[in-house]
Amino acid sequence: MTASEPFSESASKSPIAIGTDRYRMLAQAIAGQPLPLALLDLDLLEANAQAMLDRAGSLPIRLGSKSIRCVEVMQRVQALSPRFQGLLCYSAREAAWLSTQGFDDLLVAYPSIDRRDIEAVATPLAQGRRIVLMVDDAEQVTALAAQARALGVKLLLCIDLDMSMSLPGLHFGVRRSPVTTPAQTVALAQAIAAHPAELKLVGLMGYEGQIAGLQDALPGKAIKNAIVRALKRRSIVQLTARRCACVAALREAGFSLEFVNGGGTGSLESTREDSSVTEVAAGSGLYSPGLFDHFAAFHHQPALCFVLQAVRRPLPDVVTCAGGGYIASGPAGVDRLPTPYLPAGMTLLPLEGAGEVQTPVTLPQSTQLAIGDPVFFRHAKAGELAERFDHFLLLRNGAIVGSAPTYRGQAQNFF
């Protein structure tokens, strides 16, 4: 059969023993669609959204746009509950663009220094949209004050607080902000306050990446899991005390904050316990990619996957799919590879992994696939898959009900 033929004929010939029901349902749903494609199950997306609301207690959730990268998905999720409030963006230009797509209350999670980035947010700010920029250094503050003066706008700022934990020989956390103590936080707030016409401090963000993004229930890794959980427990105590102390110090120094943001998908249970936090940020749990499969405290549903076509059979138990080399960012390792999803029980070949033009998989003994059949994979991270596809096909009750353009499909690219 040719690639353009519907695979449903060959799928119906395939004796697939493991994961049969879901595989057949999904294969049937996408029959006739050109491959590769990205498929978003709206029922699972909504279940994940509800689970995240439950896990966050009563706090509002600011959706992390980098982990979604699809306007329609963000609109759909925000429409599910008034507790989905605002977006955590990853670039100032992105925030400016999102403001043209109907979003407001946009917090840019990473520092913006480029003059063109500030120019981009100046227009929506002048139109009354709320865009808040991130700072963690007096040098950034000086630069932003000068740019605000030149543009004639007043910039709203948030301080990024370091939430990592340093131990002898181990830095547990991410390298983001140098602002670690209450005194440093107040000093930066005062640097902002030195430019009252140009800048206003409105928020504090403390993102505990080592809790929110680090799996602690990996199969076959009992000792590592125990160590990571012990480190997490210790770190949560330390970072909660730090975030509370910095918020208190700012208040004592006369600064009134409009919000304190914390957390991510993997830390909702602990972040909500921090009384200083007024909102959590999260996004990955909506799609629930491979790197979120093994947390002790929660399990979300695999809502987003991508589908390749089996195009050759180099061995009786190996099929090779066209494309598929969608490697996730971060420290290079096998956990950044896509996860073979359906049929269940497939594995990547250790010496090939997922390649730019082909991805072979070993099939379990009881499973056969025909050339032309679809093979389902999951990306390791949430938002990056959107950079590979122009749109997500939308699945509802086992049938395709439409498609939603990704950022890429709307010709938007920010990094």
Ligand X SMILES: Cc1ncc(COP(=O)(O)O)c(C=O)c1O
Which residues make up the interface to ligand X (CB under 6 A)? 64, 67, 88, 109, 207, 212-213, 264-265, 281-285, 382
Classify 205 as helix, strand or coil.
strand
d(CA 33, CA 45): 21
- Residue with the CB atom nearest ligand X in the bound state: 264
d(CA 188, CA 184): 6
d(CA 222, CA 242): 30
Burial 273-312 (b: 16+ CB within 10 A, else e): ebebbbbbbbbbbbbbbbbbbebeebebbbbbbbbbbbbe
> Minimum Å distance from CB 166 to ligand X?
19
d(CA 68, CA 81): 17
- 237-240: long-range pairs with CB below 8 Å, 24+: 238/165, 239/163, 239/165, 239/206, 239/208, 239/211, 240/270, 240/273, 240/274, 240/276
d(CA 351, CA 346): 15
> Minimum Å distance from CB 357 to ligand X?
29
Select 284 or 367, whichever has its Cβ closest to ligand X: 284
Classify 233 as helix, strand or coil.
helix
> Minimum Å distance from CB 304 to ligand X?
13
Select 93 or 195, whichever has its Cβ closest to ligand X: 93
Select 255 or 298, whichever has its Cβ closest to ligand X: 298
Nearest partner of 73 among 380, 298, 341, 403, judged by Cα: 403
Select 87 or 363, whichever has its Cβ closest to ligand X: 87
> Minimum Å distance from CB 322 to ligand X?
29
Instruction: Classify residue 290 by its DSSP letter.
Output: G
Select 19 or 264, whichever has its Cβ closest to ligand X: 264
Select 214 or 346, whichever has its Cβ closest to ligand X: 214
> Minimum Å distance from CB 118 to ligand X?
20
Residue 308 β-bridge partners? 375
Q: What is the DSSP string of 23-77?
A: HHHHHHHTTT--SSEEEEEHHHHHHHHHHHHHHTTT--EEEEGGGT--HHHHHHH
Select 158 or 393, whichever has its Cβ closest to ligand X: 158
Select 284 or 368, whichever has its Cβ closest to ligand X: 284
Token pair in block for residue 139? 């040098």
> Minimum Å distance from CB 245 to ligand X?
20
> Minimum Å distance from CB 239 to ligand X?
13
> Minimum Å distance from CB 27 to ligand X?
29
